[in-house]
Structure 1
Amino acid sequence: MKKIVIIGAGGHSKVVQDIVEAMGEYRLMAILDDQYEVLKRKGNVYFGPILSYRSLFIHFECKVIIAIGRNDLRLKIVNELNLDVMDYGTVIHPTAIVGKNVSIGKGTVIMPNVVLNAGASVGNHVIVNTSSVIEHDTHLDDFIHIAPSATLTGAVKVGTGTLIGAGSTVIPSITIGEWCKVGAGSTVIKDIPNASTAVGSPARIIK
Structure 2
Amino acid sequence: MIEVFVPRENVNDESVTILSVKFKSSTKVKKGDSIFEIETTKTNVEIDAPADGLIHHEISVGDTVLVGSLLCRLDDGKNNPIIVLNTPNVEVDPLQNNNAKLSKAAIKRADELGVDTSVFKNGLISVSDIERQALVVSGQTILHPLKHIKRLNNKIVILGGGGHAKMCIDILLQRNEYQIVGIVDSQKAIGTIVCGIKVIGDDTILEKLWSEGVSCAVNGIGSVSNPVVRKVLYAKLKNIGYYLPNLVHPSAVIEPSVKLGEGNQVMMGACVGSDVVIGDNCIVNSGSIISHDCILESNSHVAPGAVLAGSVIVGDTAVVGMGVTVYMGVNIGRGSIINNGLNIFRNINPNEVVKS
Partner of 1:49: 202
Residue 61 of structure 1 aligns with which residue? 214
Aligned match of 1:139 = 295
Gaps of 5+ in 1: 201-207
Higher relative contact order (CA 8 A, sep 6+): 1
Secondary structure at the counterpart of residue 30 of structure 1: strand
Q: How does 1:72-151 map to 2 (within 5 A)?
A: 72-83=228-239, 87-151=243-307
CA contact 1:36–1:47 (8 Å) conserved in 2: no
Q: After TM superposition, give the deviation of residue 12 of structure 1 in Å.
A: 0.9
Amino acid paired to 1:186: L
Alignment length (residue pairs): 199
Structure-2 separation of matches of 1:49 and 1:86: 16
Structure 2 gaps of 5+ residues are 1-152
Distance 2:164 2:192 in 1: 21
Structure 2 residue 351 is the aligned partner of structure 1 residue 195: yes
Moved more, 173-182 or 102-111: 102-111
Name the amino acid aligned to 1:180.
Answer: S
The percent of aligned pairs where both chains have the same amino acid is 28
Shift of 1:76: 1.9
Amino acid of the residue matched to residue 165 of structure 2?
A: S
- Of the three residues 29, 34, 37, the one matched with 2:181 is 29
Closer, same or farther: CA 57–85 of 1 in aligned 2, 3 Å: closer
Q: Which runs of 4+ in 1 moved over 2 A?
A: 39-46, 78-86
Give the CA deviation at 1:80. Answer: 3.4
Q: Find the aligned partners of 1:185 and 1:106 in 2 and give their Cα distance.
A: 29
1:65–1:108 contact (8 Å) kept in structure 2? no
Q: 1:79 to 1:100 in 2, by over 3 A?
A: closer
Say if 1:182 and 1:199, in contact at 8 Å, map to a contact too. Answer: yes
Aligned with 1:184 (options 331, 337, 340): 340
TM-score, normalised with respect to structure 2: 0.53
CA RMSD across the alignment:
2.1
For residue 150 of structure 2, what is the aligned residue in structure 1?
none
Deviations 1:167-201 (A, max 9, x none): 0000101101000000101111000110001133x
Letter of the structure 1 residue corresponding to residue 209 of structure 2? L
For normalisation by structure 1, the TM-score amounts to 0.88
* Counterpart secondary structure, 1:60: coil
